[in-house]
Amino acid sequence: MEPSPVPRARPEPPLARLASVAPGRVRLNLGPAGRDPARAAALVRESVLLPGVVSAAANPLTGSLLLRFRGEAETVFAAAARQGLFRVDTTPQRPAAPARAAPIAAAALGLLAAVQALRGAILPPAVTLLWYAASLARRGDDRAGD
């Protein structure tokens, strides 16, 4: 008796992260799956067949897929998951902490003011730079509680 063939498991569709979203347009980052040129081309061919998708374009250099569509993005995402093209992680990404550039810029401007003062250019270059440095330092102190 011959063993029955084992059904091949369909590979898990790649997890896509939302890179940008606008009405009728979404850019997805597919990671390594999107960086494979053959797979990216296949994703484009199959994505344009999804309900509501008007056009699709892939960039294998960045691993991204741009979809233009009519209707709701969630409808497109659900259809893509059903077809096994990709799954979209719609959990909100925590934004990166804002750079605290004000203290660094204030220190740099203070240093430049000192250089100008040593060169004898006290009015207006050194005074102006000190003014900007103090303004930035105050702005940095005001935002420290954020």
How far, in whole angstroms, is CA 95 from its chain's centroid? Answer: 10
Predicted confidence at residue 132, as pLDDT, reads 77
Strands 64-69 and 25-29: antiparallel
- 8 Å CB contact between 26 and 99: no
pLDDT for 97 beyond 70 = no
Note the pTM of the prediction, 2 decimals.
0.58
Token pair belonging to 83: 């077809």
What digits encode the pLDDT tens for the residues 28-56?
A: 999 888 899 999 999 999 999 999 999 99
**With bands split at pLDDT 50, 70 and 90, how would you rate the model's confidence at 140?**
low
| pLDDT score for 136 | 75
Question: What number is the average pLDDT over the span 75-101?
Answer: 80
Residue reference for tokens 């659900």:
78
pLDDT (mean) for 59-79: 94
DSSP states of 17-65 as a string?
EEEEEETTEEEEE-THHHHSHHHHHHHHHHHTTSTTEEEEEEETTTTEE
Per-residue pLDDT tens over the stretch 105-126: 778 878 888 888 888 776 677 7
The predicted pLDDT at position 121 comes to 73
| Mean pLDDT across 4-28 | 81
Give the Cα separation of 16 and 138 in Å (integer).
42
Higher pLDDT, 6 or 39: 39
